[in-house]
Structure 1
Amino acid sequence: MILAPLTRGCNLPYRRLCADFGCKVAFGEMIYARNLLKGDAVEHARLRRAPNEGGLFGVQIATNDVEEAVASLKLIKAAGQIDFVDLNCGCPINEATRRGLGSAMLRNPNRLAELVLGIVEADVGIPLTVKVRLGADNKNNVMRVSKEMRDAGAAALTIHGRTAQQRYSNAANWDEIAKVVAESRDSDMLIVGNGDILTHEDARAKIESTGVDSVMVGRGALEKPWIFQEFETGVRWNPSARDRVAVYRRLAQYNKDHFRDDARGRKMASYFFPWHFEFLCRYHSSKNDIQSRWIDDGDMPPLDTLLACKNTFAHRRIADILWDSVGDEEAVAKLTEFAEGGEFSSLLSAVIGDGGGGGGGGEELSNIPGNDKKVRKRRSMKPKRTEEEIEQIRAERKLKRERLGMTDHEHVNGGRRGGN
């Protein structure tokens, strides 16, 4: 089971946590090859592996130029911490596709094959893998793309069972992945399946039914990092709320180790750590409810209620408490106190209280019953933006500022130039 190259999700502290639970193959966050070659500090930081990542660690690059790709692979190899490099040909967000990167490359399989062949023939000394989708648009051309990748010499091909146009809607089409496996049976190129792997049972079932060499997990690992342990042992772990607090506090410690336990480090970690609770809060012990965003247990203890909360303000508070707690018992006590206190009650009642009044900045919460034990219905609201859409909006705004010749300082200060 492979941890997917998730933007924001595959930061070093979280990979370290997954490694604790037996993750043996992991990716860092995607790197733009051009920015890496320009010396971008953020991109270079993504070349670091966690201290306990003793298995295989790879990085994923976005590029459509042979010279740029080869130069970046040489730099990555020189870093001395990377076992393989993956070429991103599956990212569907506009920030990548408008540059001719990511899934846009699937529109021209011949050009993609030339790129992969050029990288392989450069013989940098580090294996090249490729990640794709079924196609760029609704047109499915994965069979042709897979043949081109085999002929070009890719070491492995990861296939997400949706087209780029589908993004993350509809179920992943594993039948198409199985066809590629059958076609590639006599090839040395490994086939990895990706899409809708939310439990270790899902992973085993897909491996057995399609014959893929491995599966890649994204959202399933974000919801429960112990999925790797379950996959290895074949035994489902149903951690109590106290168990989960211990796991989450360990993640807080790993963030402190990586970013440092000071004001600057805490600010840097705040981009990642609270965000993880958007997924961790979705955990539910029932196999059938693992994807559910709404909890209907009428008698949930306060701590369980808090950990199931979908509100981002609550996530920040949870993150702060875990960061400041010295041990697991202190974390449990402080989180329970917050869960039983007026601040959290007000937060709940503002969104899911009697009458379903608004509040909490419009953020979504679990459908937790009130004191009358009646299950509240989901409020009608606009679909929540995905992380990819949010990143796309940020990137487009930044590009607009750059076109206007506006620095970040000028943007923060209302576009004013010059002195005070």
Structure 2
Amino acid sequence: MNADEPLAAVMAAAKVPPEEGSISLPEPQAAPPNPEDLVAKAIAPVKAEFLRPPPLRSRADDACEKRSVSSNVTKEKKSKRQLKRERQQEKKSATHICPAVAKFGKADACRYGGKCRFSHDLDAYLAQKPADLEGTCPFASVKESCPYGLACRFFSSHSEVVSSKDENAPKKSSEINGLNKDLQKLLWKNKVSFPKASAQLKLLGLSSGYGSKTKLDVNQVESHPASQNGSSNLQEHISNDMPCSLVSEMECASVCMEKESVDDASVVDDLRPSKKVKNPIDEKFNSSDMNGMCPVEEDSVELVDRDQLEEKPIDSVCSVKVDLDLKPHLREKKLIDFRGKLYLAPLTTVGNLPFRRVCRGLGADVTCGEMAMCTNLLQGQASEWALLRRHSSEEIFGVQICGAYPDTVARTVELIDRECTVDFIDINMGCPIDIVVNKGAGSCLLTKPMRMKGIIQAASGTVDKPITVKVRTAYFEGRNRIDSLISDIKTWGATAVTIHGRSRQQRYSKLADWEYINLCASKAPDDLQVLGNGDIFSYHDWNMHISDCPKLASGMVARGALIKPWIFTEIKEQRDWDISSGERFDILKDFVRYGLQHWGSDTKGVESTRYFLLEWLSYTCRYIPVGLLDVIPQRINWRPPSYYGRNDLETLMVSDSAADWIRISEMLLGKVPEGFSFTPKHKSNAYDRAENG
């Protein structure tokens, strides 16, 4: 073997012609980067032995992938009428068995008979039903009979569950705050009255109630979108947008017709601020027999003319008398002490009830439901009311609502106070989503302090529950800063405020500004609890933020809980938990069991559980196990390189591929349906920005 052969081979590989009389040596391989340098570049310092080499891709592979993506994007466009027809036909198919027939196993169990929207063909349903999943029915663990009967995907285990269960045991649901069907129908017809909200709005001079001649504050009208298109649009908003619940439908119709015929001058007169009403309440609305619901009965209301309406308050027409002196003072309200408690933030899509149960079991003290829109709640939308559901394991539970105007928020908090069991109500004034901001809600309120004042005053004066507020540092960077309003927020009636250390304009492009959060906490009154939010990803972060500002009551954990819900355990036990893949898989099992109990154990419930599991897995893949890092703890803004786990399951869990997330879901919920695909709703893998906050 010639000694020059290795050198010639190296030069040939490098395609460098050798020069006469010169000796070329191969360049030495670059040393692995220093962990400190990687951290400075926000790259996770994964140990070298776990790094995965970059994949070798050819141009043919890229072209093939582009063709496959383009072919998947092209879909047949269908009209709304065609889609509705297909949905109706699908309900009549054998795949959609009637719930009553499936529960009792008899074709004549449905009380609607031939008028039922669903199929009653048991044989056809059983012929096409997918194979049962392995395991026990999730309702067996809560000692309840499965409400899905034959439709349950664990039906084969029902006989064992029934034989081992005490039939005389009481059946109790572990979830509360459901939407009553009778109330939903009344909300659909705008026949639910809100006497406390109406009285508080009158007291503040913001509105004189539903129906009849509604008087609005001039400043409120100018800021309302309806006022931008002239007086005719404003009249239409007054007559159509506000439900009529304190007068009869006939009287409301006559008043609305008169409003359409008035000229511009009379409209201006109608929009003068109303006088503050003293002591307007009706004791009959507080009777326990009505259970809080106040449907309007046409026979019980006397018809009056327009002059009488102008002379009398609207509540006096309906015999409404409210004694505001009976309302407890703000200091007499039952307050919640957030100090030292671990608060799980309200999270869009992923912050559902099963996920909150998981976090509660891992150490979360305070939980809050997903943000619900006030207008949707007042319209009786079942999907929005589902966000208010509470599990019995949630010791301190609140709901978060979002609205643009004081009247909408006041009526919503009164409705929630009557129908739901909650410990506090949080008003979102920091949501950055465009569809919310464009409607004047969320972080848009940061640019309108007087609107904020009206909303907080109306909400806190309507109910006795503590009212909390969630805000951002500002709307635009450096403008409309929230620190100037901290003292006012307490004066307006809020008992606590949570500050997300970013502006709406900033989104997630920078780390949260905890120095500014501490500044706001130092300016806050002693009886206003200030909570910080942003980038809490380890117990080190928690200790640092809490110790830096003694006036800070506590912290709210958001994305950190999505990526690793055991962060609450780490904070309470003051350790970096090098959790194993098996322990992480057990947490996923708990989520699936809770999800089947919440969304159902039939085929539809299984697929709903799978969807929300996949949404959650799109966040958990960003967690880097402690044993794989050169520097701990992990920071939330670190970009992980491609790397292997310590075993096959851990490697699968750290993958950012949706195909691997689907594989994990199949390990828990069986095979996906034919043609199944998944795309995350939120850009969870984007480190510089996010679509929700």
TM-score, normalised to structure 1's length?
Answer: 0.75
Letter in 1 for 2:403: T
| Mapped pair 1:156 → 2:501 | no
Q: Deviation per CA, 1:196-224, whole angstroms, max 9, x where unpaired?
A: 11112211210110231010011110111
Give matches, 1:133-212, under 5 Å.
133-138=472-477, 139-184=479-524, 186-211=525-550, 212=552
Alpha-carbon separation, structure 1, partners of 2:687 and 2:514: 26
Alpha-carbon separation, structure 2, partners of 1:388 and 1:162: 13
Contact 1:252 1:273 in 2 (8 A): yes
Could you tell me which residue of structure 1 aligns to residue 655 of structure 2? 309
Match of 2:451 among 103, 107, 111: 111
SS at match of 2:503: coil
SS at match of 1:213: strand
Alpha-carbon separation, structure 2, partners of 1:232 and 1:79: 34
Deviation at 1:187, TM superposition (A): 2.8
Alpha-carbon separation, structure 2, partners of 1:299 and 1:112: 49
Could you tell me which residue of structure 2 aligns to residue 348 of structure 1? none
Contact 1:162 1:172 in 2 (8 A): yes
| Mapped pair 1:321 → 2:667 | yes
Match of 1:262 among 584, 602, 609: 602
| Mapped pair 1:15 → 2:356 | yes
Contact 1:131 1:157 in 2 (8 A): yes
The percentage of aligned residue pairs carrying the same residue is 34
| Mapped pair 1:51 → 2:396 | no
Could you tell me which residue of structure 1 aligns to residue 421 of structure 2? 81
Alpha-carbon separation, structure 1, partners of 2:375 and 2:645: 53
Deviation at 1:307, TM superposition (A): 0.7
| Mapped pair 1:35 → 2:376 | yes
Deviation at 1:140, TM superposition (A): 4.8
Letter in 1 for 2:371: M
Alpha-carbon spacing, 1:66–1:171, altered in 2? closer, same or farther (3 Å): same
| Mapped pair 1:129 → 2:468 | yes
Alpha-carbon spacing, 1:121–1:86, altered in 2? closer, same or farther (3 Å): same
Alpha-carbon spacing, 1:298–1:275, altered in 2? closer, same or farther (3 Å): closer
SS at match of 2:468: strand
Match of 2:431 among 80, 87, 91: 91
Deviation at 1:154, TM superposition (A): 0.5
Alpha-carbon separation, structure 2, partners of 1:128 and 1:9: 24
Could you tell me which residue of structure 2 aligns to residue 372 of structure 1? none
5+ residue gaps, structure 2, are 1-341, 627-631, 672-677
Contact 2:446 2:480 in 1 (8 A): no
Alpha-carbon separation, structure 2, partners of 1:200 and 1:76: 35
SS at match of 2:385: helix
Deviation at 1:385, TM superposition (A): 7.6
Letter in 1 for 2:380: G
Alpha-carbon separation, structure 2, partners of 1:318 and 1:109: 47
Contact 1:207 1:214 in 2 (8 A): yes
Q: Deviation per CA, 1:127-162, whole angstroms, max 9, x where unpaired?
A: 110000011111251112222212212110000011
Which of 227-236 and 246-255 deviates more? 227-236
Q: Deviation per CA, 1:261-308, whole angstroms, max 9, x where unpaired?
A: 211112322331111011111222333335344245567322111010
Could you tell me which residue of structure 2 aligns to residue 279 of structure 1? 619
Contact 2:624 2:640 in 1 (8 A): no
Which of 230-239 and 170-179 deviates more? 230-239
Alpha-carbon spacing, 1:313–1:256, altered in 2? closer, same or farther (3 Å): same
Deviation at 1:21, TM superposition (A): 0.8
Could you tell me which residue of structure 2 aligns to residue 388 of structure 1? 692
Alpha-carbon separation, structure 1, partners of 2:611 and 2:648: 27
Alpha-carbon separation, structure 1, partners of 2:483 and 2:419: 35
Deviation at 1:69, TM superposition (A): 1.2
Contact 1:16 1:51 in 2 (8 A): no
Letter in 1 for 2:580: S
Letter in 1 for 2:582: R
Deviation at 1:92, TM superposition (A): 0.8
Contact 2:344 2:368 in 1 (8 A): yes
Alpha-carbon spacing, 1:260–1:361, altered in 2? closer, same or farther (3 Å): closer
Could you tell me which residue of structure 2 aligns to residue 288 of structure 1? 633
Q: Aligned Cα RMSD in Å? A: 2.4
SS at match of 1:30: strand
SS at match of 1:46: helix
Alpha-carbon spacing, 1:217–1:382, altered in 2? closer, same or farther (3 Å): closer
Could you tell me which residue of structure 2 aligns to residue 60 of structure 1? 400
Alpha-carbon separation, structure 1, partners of 2:670 and 2:419: 34
Contact 1:83 1:126 in 2 (8 A): yes
Alpha-carbon separation, structure 2, partners of 1:209 and 1:385: 27
Contact 1:130 1:158 in 2 (8 A): yes
Letter in 1 for 2:554: S
Alpha-carbon separation, structure 2, partners of 1:200 and 1:382: 24
Q: Deviation per CA, 1:34-67, whole angstroms, max 9, x where unpaired?
A: 100110101111111123112x111111112222
Deviation at 1:229, TM superposition (A): 1.5
Contact 2:622 2:654 in 1 (8 A): yes
Could you tell me which residue of structure 1 aligns to residue 558 of structure 2? 218
TM-score, normalised to structure 2's length?
Answer: 0.46
Letter in 2 for 1:172: A
The number of residue pairs the alignment matches comes to 334
SS at match of 1:125: coil
Could you tell me which residue of structure 1 aligns to residue 231 of structure 2? none
Letter in 2 for 1:136: Y
Q: Which has the higher contact order (CA 8 A, sep 6+)?
A: 2
